Amino acid sequence: MQLRDASQELMAVIQSLRTEIRDRTMVDHQLAAAVEQEEGSRNAALHDHLTGLPNRVLFTDRLEHGIAQAKRHRSILAVMFVDLDNFKTINDTYGHDTGDAVLKMISTRLRHGTRDDDTVSRHGGDEFLYLLNRVREENDISTIAVKVLRAIRAPCNLILQDVTVSPCMNASIGIAVFPRDGATAGALIKSADEAMYVAKESKSGFAFAQTGVGALCSVFSHGGPIEGGVAADAP
């Protein structure tokens, strides 16, 4: 009798342990799912849903961090405001789905061409923002701007109803340099935005946020060199 009672008690303990392990495993799975969902929600809140690039919130956070680092190390950084020229024509000619496909293709090119320490984000619509950290001189910024324009100008080969179309885009870039053109994230973005309009109106490719004769740095204009600038094939 005692042996049977001990056996039953042992079986009860084993069953209890099995139940506890099962419950603990279930809780662990639920916690992992909750953490994954939270990370997914946070990622979605900080990235553009169409392109997967960082959005304004994440870009601003990184820019503010970059400014703090630049102050600490007495270095400079740059913000480039990139606007696609005549993007509305793509939507009007091929439709918004094609326009979205072009945006995603260009975003992929920009992301692949970004240095590890830098950030490219979709500001909204057909506008992008670049954060260039640890810049040594303006010539380095100009070199990167040229590469960005080249990446954007490459044909976007797309298949529409079994027909291949290759829309080509151009862009205008405004560049603001910290600390010269602004001491805060908002001021730098505003200065870069204003410089972008200078580049767009002059069809110069890109322009630095400066006043006076030396403000404009002409590089690209519809595939050719600009007087006073450098040729489109410059390194």
Active site members:
126
Quick check: 185 and 196 in contact, CB under 8 A?
no
Q: How many residues does the chain have?
A: 235
**Alpha-carbon gap, residue 186 to 225, rounded angstroms:** 33
| Cα–Cα distance list, 226 to 198, 222, 223 (Å) | 15, 10, 10
- Computed over its alpha carbons, how large is the radius of gyration of the chain? 27
Tokens of 23: 């419950």
Please report, for the chain, how many H helices and E strands are present, in that order.
Answer: 6, 8
Residues 6+ apart with CB under 8 A from 159: 165
